Amino acid sequence: MCDHSVSLIPDTLQKLFDNSSIALSLADAGQDKPLIAINTPFCNLTGYTKNEIIGRNCRFLQKNADNTIARKELREFLDNKGDLSIRKALINFKSDGTPFINLLYMSRLCDSKGNTRFILASQFEISNSYPETFAHYGIELQSTVQKITPAVAQAGIILEGSIRAIANSTSMIAQAKLTLEELKNSGPVF
Ligand SMILES: Cc1cc2nc3c(=O)[nH]c(=O)nc-3n(C[C@H](O)[C@H](O)[C@H](O)COP(=O)(O)O)c2cc1C
């Protein structure tokens, strides 16, 4: 598969992102993983404009929050050491300084040689009123992944990760609730 078609992936995915109601982002797998595509729900969630985000590593949303353990696991995942996909709760800040808990999902997009070319991510704000919205989010994320898989396959790119894991919204809700409780119980987090 020629590299030309791989270079079209950001544009292809941007179109899919634009039709989605959940926050989505795509990073280049090289260098410091700069964001190369995001959608309006991502901007609405974070309060930043596209111009303020594209080209940057998304860690800027963490400001000086102590996400040490989650960050280590994200780095291991990005270094190809972890599972096929990852879901971690991180403390992030909106552009106006409001802190929130971001449940971050990431999956790798690899070429036929197994090299990671892009990272797909989705962000969800965990709040106290989330069970129904979270269930809806899980369905949307699953549907997005299902659409992305054939779209990138045309360029010889494989989206890693299990759709089944995303679809299991009951365990996702339980996991998120637990994470929220753990963060609350671990003292002042912000
Ligand atoms: C596509 C993509 C989206 C990401 N989105 C977020 C995000 O919304 N919030 C966040 O805190 N980190 C996000 N990250 C993770 C950070 O960019 C970074 O990988 C993480 O903080 C671990 O690396 P570090 O310790 O070098 O910062 C994202 C990463 C990628 C590749």
Residue 56 belongs to domain spanning: 3-183
- Phi and psi at 38, nearest 5°, equal -145, 170
Q: Is residue 65 part of a domain?
A: yes
**Which atom of ligand 1 is closest in space to residue 33's alpha carbon?**
31
What's the pLDDT band for 134 if we cut at 50, 70, 90? Answer: confident
The protein residue with its alpha carbon nearest to ligand 1, atom 28, reads: 58
Give the per-residue pLDDT at 109. Answer: 94
Give the per-residue pLDDT at 130. Answer: 65
Instruction: Give the total number of structural domains in the chain.
Output: 1
- If you measure from the C-alpha of residue 132 to the centroid of ligand 1, how many angstroms do you get, rounded to a whole number? 26
Span 140-177, pLDDT tens digits? 998 999 999 999 998 999 998 766 556 554 665 666 66
Positive/negative CA dihedral, 155, 161, 166, 168: positive
Span 52-93, pLDDT tens digits? 999 999 999 999 888 898 899 999 999 987 688 888 888 899
Check if 71 has its Cβ closer than 6 Å to any atom of ligand 1.
Answer: yes
CATH of residue 24's domain is 3.30.450.20
Q: Is residue 30 part of a domain?
A: yes
Between 46 and 83, residue with greater pLDDT: 46
Q: Would you list the DSSP string of 105-174?
A: EEEEEE-TTS-EEEEEEEEEEE-TT-HHHHHHHHHHHHHHHHHHHHHHHTTT-EE-S-HHHHH-HHHHHH
Among residues 122, 113, 106, the alpha carbon closest in space to that of 158 is found at: 113
Q: Is residue 188 part of a domain?
A: no
Check if 177 has its Cβ closer than 6 Å to any atom of ligand 1.
Answer: no
What's the pLDDT band for 119 if we cut at 50, 70, 90? Answer: very high
Mean pLDDT, residues 96-122? 92
Q: Is residue 117 part of a domain?
A: yes
- If you measure from the C-alpha of residue 163 to the centroid of ligand 1, how many angstroms do you get, rounded to a whole number? 21
- If you measure from the C-alpha of residue 58 to the centroid of ligand 1, how many angstroms do you get, rounded to a whole number? 5
**186: pLDDT strictly greater than 70:** no
SS3 36: strand
Check if 122 has its Cβ closer than 6 Å to any atom of ligand 1.
Answer: no
SS3 90: strand
